[in-house]
Structure 1
Amino acid sequence: MKQLLYTLLLIAATALAGCKTDYANLPTFTGARQLQAVIEVPAGNNLQLRYDADKREFVKDKDAGQDRIIEFLPFPGNYGFIPSTEVGKNGRGLNIIVLSERAETGSVLEVIPVGVLQLEQDGDLKPIIVAVPARPSERTIEATTLANLSKDYPAAKEILRQWFMHKNPTIETRFVAWRDEKFADQEIQRWMKL
């Protein structure tokens, strides 16, 4: 009887483990053509998390074997990636920061891209999509274009620029430019998996 119960529990656990959400391969857009963002690091966190597509789980990011802690200021927005995109050699999704109240790790948000913060890190261009929630009731700022963000929230742009330039002192980071929402759409299309 114990053996049968153990076997059934093992089968159930295996079945549940096989049901993990594959966040990396969720659709980039919903059926209504709304962009989606997968949140890895909630706003206000200092612990860097990342999605491990092989394990299908969120894990602590490591730097030289140690948990990666941002020793600057906590994340100024909800940080993650756009599903079904792939940038660079490591297969990571296109980075996105969603300016809103805290969203927990594993949240999938419908968003509107406002623009792109372009950085250069160790000689490689690194685009970071800046977005706001698609639902007006979830927004903390009322900017849905880079022009609105620049006019109504210039300090938010400066905070993001400074934060991303200083979050990791071991990587040489240079600000390249701010790009608008049309450029953001082009970047998303460029990095979508076929």
Structure 2
Amino acid sequence: MKIFRFRICLGLLLIFSACKTSKDLGKLPTKTIDGNYRAVIEIPAGTNKKIEYHKTKKKFLIDQRDGKDRIINFLPYPGNYGFIPSTFSDPKQGGDSDAVDVLVLGESQKTGSIIEIIPIAVVKLIDENELDYKIIAIPAELKNQIISVENYKTFTSNYPEVIKILESWFTYYDKSQVLEIKGWGDETEAISEIEKWTPKP
């Protein structure tokens, strides 16, 4: 009987713990103590579901369009897609009310992973007549890197094919609309874009 009661109490404790409010991933520090930027991964590389972090519910959900799960029909995400925590694109300054988007070129990471990244570029898109910037980054940890780059210069010289693939993917991945590529920026522009939308203490 004592063992049975213990199991019930343990089960209730686990249920109570699971119901506790989870940490708000959107409010994590943008940088680590070492000075690296952080990324919260929503969509693992190779995934075709459009997963987003719900700021109010503090959980990851598949985005809905017309009451249906939003699926990328033909080509999955070419990198780990997510956001830079504690950033906010203020609509009063031309932002889209979201955190800064990032595509991390590296080994596939699980949804909810928090990884350190090195920004190497920014791709400038035109989405419904508005500028939409996507930070391109690599993992800071060598074991998770799949390309050997240090900055935008080595990225463009060593992997021009990757740039073409990313341009093509961003242009056509959403069949309901066609995005335009306005151009690219180097790592300095990428960092400036992150810092622009990082609230100052």
Give the alignment's TM-score, normalised by structure 1.
Answer: 0.91
Amino acid at match of 1:75: Y
Q: Is the 8 A contact 2:44 2:81 kept in 1?
A: yes
Residues 1:100 and 2:106 aligned together: yes
| Residue of structure 1 aligned with 2:130, choices 112, 121, 124 | 124
Aligned to 2:36: 34
The unaligned stretches of length 5 or more in structure 1 are none
Distance in 2 (alpha carbons) for counterparts of 1:13 and 1:87: 37
Deviation at 1:189, TM superposition (A): 0.4
Residue identity opposite 1:65 in structure 2: G
Residue 135 of structure 1, CA deviation: 1.6
Per-residue deviation, residues 81-131 of structure 1 (Å, max 9, x unmatched): 000011255632110000001100000110100000110100111100000
Partner of 2:117: 111
2:4: which partner in 1?
none
Q: Is this contact kept in 2: 1:113–1:144, CA < 8 A?
A: no
Q: How many residues align?
A: 194
Give 1:51's aligned amino acid: Y
Match of residue 23, structure 1, among 22, 25, 41? 25
Decide whether the 8 Å contact of 2:90 with 2:197 is kept in 1: no
Structure 1 segment 160-179 matched on structure 2, within 5 A: 160-179=166-185
Shift of 1:22: 1.1
Q: State the TM-score, normalizing by the size of structure 2.
A: 0.88
In structure 2, the gaps of 5 or more residues are 1-6
Higher strand share: 1
Distance 1:54 1:10 in 2: 25
Aligned partners of 1:53, 1:10: CA distance in 2, in Å? 27
Matching residue within 30, 43, 46 for 1:44: 46
Q: Which moved more, 1:17-26 or 1:37-46?
A: 17-26
Please tell me the root mean square deviation across aligned C-alpha atoms, in Å.
2.2
Q: Which residue of 1 aligns with 2:3?
A: none
Identify the residue that residue 55 of structure 2 maps to in structure 1: 53
Write out aligned runs for 1:71-82 (5 A): 71-82=73-84
Shift of 1:136: 2.0
The alignment partner of 2:166 has SS state of: helix
